[in-house]
Structure 1
């Protein structure tokens, strides 16, 4: 910006900008370098002073500022009870606010406020208390007035300031109070009492949180002069008269002009009014007895005169009576009407009486206040009687005749179920006029009594029995007349006997329950009233189930399970329920056994297995014994290799194996001679691998030739061998699949060449 101007102008402009920046920087420093450290408020000479003391409120501030900073402007303000009193600017850190000749109204809570360069602070609240008030001063404009005139009364609080409440008293009784901000207040009072009246006043100064009363003023006496006026009340012929006599009441004003309005009053009724005088007259009745008042009002002042008039009864109000006081249907009722108090005996015979029923005169059996009637619905109603003499009539109070209905034969019943040895309620009920007295008997002995007074009330008696037949021992009696009572029939009710503990039995017995069999669960209770509900339950270690429910009119019932399984094992129990109670049986444990046919089958299988094992054992034993005997016989004479090979072939065994076990194979021939073709066929057969083959071989053992011995007798040794051949595996033992049976016959035929 400065580059486009002339050099002199550029220098001036730059200097001006620098000066503005410097001033701005200085202002920022000043604003930031002022701190109000503390602000305190105090009262001098003291915070508690007497009236008329000069008090100074001091505000002292402690302010910190940077060096070279000029004296700031201190903005002080003072508040009293949150209302600002004064505001000022000062260059000093202390401000004094004077209160000259302090008054009670200056008492309160003061606080000082300070503001410097946008920063502010307030002091703590301090209280100033000023005690002492000026005694109230009373003034009246007149010391003597006439009755009915007003007097001006002024009450002043000289030298006081603030808000006031002024109180005015007449003969120490407060008659007026008013608020004012002025130190005095005037009112207009009308004094009611004639003669001297003592007037006083006082005031209260209202502060922020309290009120301070002043001392009461001296007395100001105002004399009230009575008005020269009076009233006169007269009653003629006298103030005590008899009914039917004429009387008059006169009210008169005694004043110079006699133009005042006068009132004749009896009770709250104005009988007559007039100017200066008024009269009232009537034929006397009992209602005319009482106080009569004559009244005149002048300028708010009342003048009165009172007199009492007494009117005696010519005859008293009649009374209607009935005999007997309470009558039951069919009884005779006698009604009588009579006035008991008659002023003049000569009048007694002149009085006429009439009886009314429901407002209508009864003409039948009605003779001068006497009548008879038979109790019943036609005689029921409201009755009054009327007495008349010398144009005066008086009516008796109303009596109500309601013929009573005798209590009917009561009905006896039970309120709820009857359970042995438990409380139950017996109800007695009868129709008739209330109140009815009910009495409960048991075996002609009074058990309970109760009187029913209201239609909704019931005659209930609590009792209990221990045996069923005792229920018929109860009866009740109803009575609403002292002469007559009626009794009910003996009580009839269904009695419920509680159930005894049930017993659960089973068919068959718990130890004989087999699979597939039928189980009958029988639940029986030793005692109890049917109908009874029986319930059966099954409980095992893993589950629980409700099996069946049956309601019967008997003491036992049963439930059948058609097919028992092993899983049905567990505990079984039953529950019996009737209106009296519910009971449970002890549990019965059932273990379902294996079925008999399964046992027989398992036994048969086991027996067959045992027999088979025995047979196998016997066969093996015999085979081993025959093999040993055959080996013994064969070893008597050495056999030719050819014979050994032939036997080995016939037996299906290798010759080396037989030699290894020490068996000598000798030539043998079949007992039955076979053709060469059969022999070659048999020898050509190989052992079958499809099943065991049995071969029978007859072996002829030649006798050894001993020259020393005698030639052998004719005979043969026959060896029968039964060979059961099985397929042979070269890797297995050669004797694994062979069973041999050998029979030696020592009576062999002689060898044949």
Structure 2
């Protein structure tokens, strides 16, 4: 009976322990009613998802709609679909759509679906004002509120002259454009349209808006009297007028122009211009009225018939020379073409030029040429109050050059340093340019220049050689130079050679000068123009000037320092300068004071006497030692026996504390024995020598002392008599 219960429990345990799970199988985006719509249609997008899951598992899904990867709508639902509805589709809804579903962290994306909405509605248009004035701006606004994609607004301004268009590209739902009201605008009409860049569609044009233009002033009126076509000599008047609006808000200005040049102006509504007319007054005249914002103008062309032609001035000469020269007779002829000979001869011709005015009948003016009459000449003719002038005629009269003067710039002494520039100027006292100046040295021409003005000629010569010195002069010529050339004064120029390689020599050459003797200083210059100034110095801490001297004949100078002593010790040098004014310094030599020869002789004699005295003393002592050595030798020989005559013990048998020397008769013997003991190395040798001498039958008496003293005297002791 327990088996059914067990089976039931196991079954329930199996169902209750099953794990919750799901998977997204498919996702689809549906477009209703179609992917191709007309503007204003209802658009519904359905995102449908199929999810496989365990029984009784509830899932909350997030649905996201995208247009061109831009999120346009998001909603959550436990169902299997969500809709995104656009009540009225516009062209801006054209594009590619998709939807995404997110379930418990799992995502799936649908395929993209393209939607096309065709047809655009007319945009709305507004203007900033319905009445305006010339020169002001009108703002036009075009709206397409339901279109939010990229678009181009096109604005149109229409008047009697035609159409003006402006474009505005934007993503906004509206666009604006400013139009200026120009001169002559009266009735303006505005409209606009929209072009969608996505669908490449253009909307129908908007309705038309009208703007009325109120003129501040009328177009100016121009009047010409006596007419637009008349003969010169009459009074001419040009009148400009303009009508102002009753309530004009801006100041205005009225101007009269001729060929673009203002000849009169006024701030009133009228302007008048009067004059006796000539052919020069013929041309185009313009009346213009303007304010800050706008302007208007009117033009007229005036034609004036010439009463007589402009006179012509010519020059007549009898000379065949190319250029007019002084004292030549010349004639100025003034002619008016078209006049009868009788009328021409009765006219008064006025000649103006060179600061003078002459009146001649018949139009001929004679004058004798002079340089002061050079200048620009014109002639004047007056008929019926009309005066006309000829074109200017330049008359150049050439005066011959006179008295050129050559000047050496900045050099009153006519000198120049070798290597520097020699600067000369030449200027004539009179003569008409252009003048040709030539610089000459001797009979040769160095350089030449042409001066076109009444200024001096400047010459610069590089003095690179000593033979650049010499006599300079200049020559001046022009287009009226007589047969004899004009030469200037002569300038004598001396070229100064700078000093080079200054050397100081001293005597004695080694620089050792005996006290009281003389030191000679010789300053020598290798090259340089005389005279030369020499300065001798001694440097001992500070520089001391010893001698200042000038030599006009030699390239050297000398001086002496007498009775030289220690105070004159030091470094000696010299400097040299000449007209080049450049000081050149020599080498430096050292001089020292040394002892005089007689002082050296005295010191040498004194030293010699000291040495001689030492030798005499040594010889005396040596002889004295010899004498005393005779008595010491027999005693020395006896001391070598084992037992002395006085029963003295040998040295080996002597006890400590006993006298080593035994019984000596005097201090000299004791000293000799002590010396032998202190120099045991020599004692043996001396002993052998003494023994030999003692044994030798030819040994003279006292030979021991002689040999003992013949050694190094440095070992002698007081009282030994060895030197």
The normalised TM-score by structure 1 is 0.48
Structure label with greater radius of gyration: 1
